[in-house]
Chains A and B, each alone.
Chain A
Amino acid sequence: MKELRLMKGNEALAEAAIRAGADAYFGYPITPQSEVIEYLMREDPARRTGMQVLQAESEIAAINMVYGAAACGKKAITSSSSPGISLKMEGISYIAGAELPCVVVNVVRGGPGLGTIQPSQSDYFQAVKGGGHGDYKLIVLAPATVQESVDFVKLAFELAFKYRNPVMILSDGIIGQMMEKVELFEQQPRSTHEYEWATVGKKEGRDSVIVTSLQLQSEEQEKVNLRLQAKYREVEKNEVRFETYECEDAEYLFAAFGSCARITRKAMEMARARGIRVGLIRPQTLYPFPYDDIRRLSEKVKGILTVEMNAGQMIEDVRLAVCGETPVEHFGRFGGMIPSPDEILEALEQKIIGG
């Protein structure tokens, strides 16, 4: 049954994991996302759905527990924040290489290093360009609201199993910590299907299942890579998601994702009140990225400003989309600082309109 509640982002995400039918959560506390595991431990989903929750000894252990459970065909999820996600990167690469489905949540905080516990978007490159070793891609979903943090958990599991690929929810400390009204989807079933690729115990009459990312013969490893690349092309064809606001008559365009897109939307409204016709595109999937859609929108505008809580990361993909034919500039605050609508509007006027 659907249900309306006022919830904190991290807790809503945890509740969504239970309702998405997750079989297991493995995690390690780190600010600003510790409420995820706290909520799960309090809620004790083993009683509700049989879902297992375990506080691991490290992020490294947690992601490898996810590997083990995912390779049994189960719905496994972990969450962390930036420094912890760096630790998980080894395991994520193995999961991508072994083609296992799972969900990894990154409630991003400012970096580099131990950085700050305040919100940031500085893990964009890590999420969409690899992060771990080898040619692999994560499907990356960027929620801008508590509602999307909930809905994207369900979507993430669907995509993870559709493509047998790890899916990352790239959130940030703002969305994790703020409270909003949220409509919770109804309880989904846990994974009971015995997938032919999963280690569920060897059955008579079939070969044993081996889950591995290792091929000693380079010809074989190339085949693995070709298969992965073919899968990524399918993902790029089918799964691009984004929203646009006020783009019909726009002379200028903002591009922003996650919580930053909400602040940018306010800047857009302020600009329009002053007679500046500016629109906004908000990618909901950062991989696959809406290259074609941004290119199409760019043909009608004089310039694009990306607004990010980082030193300029998504701007590289926006520039790739427009192939140098439209000016693209970046405005960002970083290290845990959040841009204000006034600053964004000022940046639009200086870098794009006056530029």
Chain B
Amino acid sequence: MSENNIICHDNLVYDKTRVMTDKVLHYCPGCGHGTAHRILAEAIDELGIQGETIGVAPVGCSVLAYYYFDVDMQEAAHGRAPAVATGIRRVMPEKYVFTYQGDGDLAAIGTAETIHACNRGENILIVFINNGIYGMTGGQMAPTTLPGMKSSTSPRGRDTSTMGNPLKMTELVAQLPGTYFVTRQAVHAPANVRKAKRAIKKALDYQKLNKGTCFVEIVSNCPSGWKMTPTQSNKWMEENMFPFYPLGDIKVPEK
């Protein structure tokens, strides 16, 4: 069989999901946001819940996430997405509701909203992108910035004696009785993308059980903020971020 014959509808094994719009993503080359968006959109598509899903976008690099997901979406004030999602799910209890938030949004300014939504066990999915830096504002220190890691507001590296310690939000919310499924994933390599997508799909599907909050952290990169090429940033992430933020399920539903 010649190659030309391979490209035909019957042989299609992978195409952009229709739950993503055709808009060109504004993210920097190699940024994990695009992949995280895509697997969330694919999960919505595969579960057949596009018309039943309402998303909440954060403030940060992914502030414009609503341009890329072809689902009804709301833009929240900085850090308030879990409160907004609470409001949605309380009046639309039959819908699937997710928030998509970065580390500044979720783990700094929105810490209270995150913890209390999880503690109440709101039946929402929180997708948490942790790249240890403020990307949109130009590379400032995040609550999740590693000790010694340089940023524009920790130019000599994060000094934990004066700048505090990185916050492990995912371990923190896993302790709360309101959370049902808590996991930490990555999207930089094929096996990780497949696992992360399975986790997101499971988390969305659990929502119909009304058993509590599902929380999926994705440890990601920020080539621009970290001042590396995308490939370097993924390697740096494996060597530095993963030891501190180990991948895997932290809380799984009891059988």
- A interface, CB within 8 angstroms of B: 23-24, 26, 52, 54, 56-58, 60-62, 64-72, 74, 76, 90-91, 94, 98, 199-204, 208-214, 216
- B interface, CB within 8 angstroms of A: 50-54, 56-57, 63-64, 66-67, 69-77, 80, 83-88, 90-92, 95, 112-113, 116
Which of A23, A64, A74, A200 has most B Cβ within 10 Å?
A: A64
Can you name 25 A-B residue pairings with CB atoms under 8 Å? Answer: A24-B90, A61-B83, A64-B80, A65-B87, A68-B56, A68-B83, A68-B85, A69-B87, A69-B90, A71-B74, A74-B91, A76-B87, A98-B74, A199-B54, A199-B73, A200-B54, A201-B53, A201-B54, A202-B51, A204-B51, A208-B71, A208-B73, A211-B73, A213-B75, A214-B75
Enumerate chain B residues within 8 angstroms of A67, measured Cβ to Cβ.
74, 76-77, 80, 83-84, 87
Q: How far is the CA of A79 from the CA of B63 in the complex (A)?
A: 29
Q: How far is the CA of A212 from the CA of B74 in the complex (A)?
A: 6
- The residue from B54, B63, B86 contacting A72, defined by CB atoms under 8 A apart: B54
- Would you call B88 and A199 a contact (CB within 8 A)? yes
Closest-by-CB residue of B relative to A57 is: B116
Enumerate chain A residues within 8 angstroms of B86, measured Cβ to Cβ.
54, 56, 61, 65, 68
- Would you call A52 and B72 a contact (CB within 8 A)? no
Enumerate chain A residues within 8 angstroms of B57, measured Cβ to Cβ.
212
Closest-by-CB residue of B relative to A98 is: B75
Q: A199-B54, A202-B50 are known contacts; what are 13 more A-B pairs with Cβ within 8 Å?
A: A56-B116, A61-B112, A64-B84, A64-B87, A65-B86, A69-B88, A70-B87, A72-B54, A200-B72, A202-B72, A204-B51, A210-B73, A214-B63
- Would you call B52 and A64 a contact (CB within 8 A)? no
Known A60-B80, A202-B50, A211-B75; contact A72-B92, beta-carbon cutoff 8 A: yes
- The residue from A56, A64, A74, A210 contacting B76, defined by CB atoms under 8 A apart: A64
Enumerate chain B residues within 8 angstroms of A213, measured Cβ to Cβ.
75
- Would you call B90 and A65 a contact (CB within 8 A)? yes
Closest-by-CB residue of A relative to B89 is: A68
Q: How near does chain B come to A339, taking the closest CB pair, in angstroms?
A: 38
Known A61-B83, A202-B50, A210-B73; contact A68-B88, beta-carbon cutoff 8 A: yes
Q: How far is the CA of A23 from the CA of B91 in the complex (A)?
A: 7
Q: How near does chain B come to A331, taking the closest CB pair, in angstroms?
A: 39
- The residue from B51, B83, B116 contacting A201, defined by CB atoms under 8 A apart: B51
Enumerate chain A residues within 8 angstroms of B95, measured Cβ to Cβ.
201
Q: How near does chain B come to A221, taking the closest CB pair, in angstroms?
A: 14
Which of B52, B77, B85, B113 has most A Cβ within 10 Å?
A: B77
Enumerate chain B residues within 8 angstroms of A72, measured Cβ to Cβ.
54, 87-88, 91-92
Known A60-B83, A61-B80, A61-B113; contact A52-B63, beta-carbon cutoff 8 A: no
